[in-house]
Amino acid sequence: DTGVSQDPRHKITKRGQNVTFRCDPISEHNRLYWYRQTLGQGPEFLTYFQNEAQLEKSRLLSDRFSAERPKGSFSTLEIQRTEQGDSAMYLCASSDTGANEKLFFGSGTQLSVL
Amino acid sequence: AQKVTQAQTEISVVEKEDVTLDCVYETRDTTYYLFWYKQPPSGELVFLIRRNSFDEQNEISGRYSWNFQKSTSSFNFTITASQVVDSAVYFCALSEAYGGATNKLIFGTGTLLAVQP
């Protein structure tokens, strides 16, 4: 069990560019989550997958955001035409299938949009 | 609406002091779960505890203890004999259950605990 890993750890980009983040969950976990955390705030839910199916998306997730989880393993989160307001820590988490199971978080990708 | 409030933004204590982190929640659900997570400077949130709404027994795990009171909608966390390694941001969270199908969490804003040697 190597835990949840995220890549890259840091990303600096210019406004208007596209960025993509990757998350590798704990291998036996069916559920995968993306959260966003800004300075001084708690994580906010963005989206959730059960296997390869994206079952829920937050209103926070604008049309510029898209997430995929092909084959139900790793996931990618893409942000198109980045804006300065997208600057945040993007956290990935995974869990077992049971209801209200604890989430295991990765160390996050810190995005800075200049 | 579901909400978690952590009124203490920052707490500073000296090593070996006891410290209590407050958490107050709002929900209309009768079934819900409450969590505490620790976020050290490395950034990775670490699970500490999960309680369901039907279990009001207090829990103790080593130097950590939790006090769940439905009457006041509070789920407070106490660290006894604090250590420098306890320095971190601590988040309280509430699960938003869609028929129990999702583990989406609603987090408070966190409390930064600084333990001075």
The per-residue pLDDT for B97 is 63
Which residues are bridge partners to A66 per DSSP? A78
Cα separation of B40 and B32, whole Å? 26
Q: B90 to chain A, minimum CA–CA distance in Å?
A: 9
- Segment (H or E) for B17: none
B101-106 mean pLDDT: 74
Low-confidence ranges of chain A (pLDDT < 50): none
Give Cβ neighbours of residue A47 (< 8 Å, ≥ 6 apart): A33, A34, A54, A56, A57, A58, A61, A67
Look at A100 and B107 and tell me if their CB atoms are within 8 Å. Answer: no
Sign of the dihedral defined by the CA atoms of residues A101, A102, A106, A110, in that order: positive
Question: Are the C-beta atoms of A7 and A72 separated by less than 8 Å?
Answer: no
The residue among A43 and B100 whose pLDDT is bigger is A43
B68-92 mean pLDDT: 96
Look at B103 and A100 and tell me if their CB atoms are within 8 Å. Answer: yes
* Chain A interface, Cβ < 8 Å to B: 31, 33, 40-45, 48, 55-56, 89, 91, 93, 95, 99-108, 110
B69-96 mean pLDDT: 95
- Residue B109's pLDDT band (boundaries 50, 70, 90)? very high
pLDDT exceeds cutoff 90 at B10: yes
Question: Are the C-beta atoms of B10 and B111 separated by less than 8 Å?
Answer: yes
The per-residue pLDDT for A1 is 54
Q: Tell me what the pLDDT averaged over chain B comes to.
A: 91
- Radius of gyration, CA atoms only, chain B: 14
List Cα–Cα distances, B71 to A88, B24, B67, B75, B77, in angstroms. 36, 11, 12, 11, 17
Type of residue numbered A45 = F
pLDDT exceeds cutoff 80 at B101: no
Question: Are the C-beta atoms of B18 and B37 separated by less than 8 Å?
Answer: no
- Residue B15's pLDDT band (boundaries 50, 70, 90)? very high
pLDDT exceeds cutoff 80 at B103: no
Look at B103 and A108 and tell me if their CB atoms are within 8 Å. Answer: no
Q: What is the pLDDT of residues B33-78, one digit of tens each?
A: 899 999 998 889 999 999 888 888 888 889 999 999 999 999 999 9
Look at A99 and B4 and tell me if their CB atoms are within 8 Å. Answer: no
Closest residue by Cα to residue A4 from A43, A32, A35, A36: A32
The per-residue pLDDT for A100 is 66
| Tokens 């509430």, residue located | B94
Share of chain B above pLDDT 70, in %: 93
Residue B83 has a CB neighbour count (10 Å cut-off) of 12
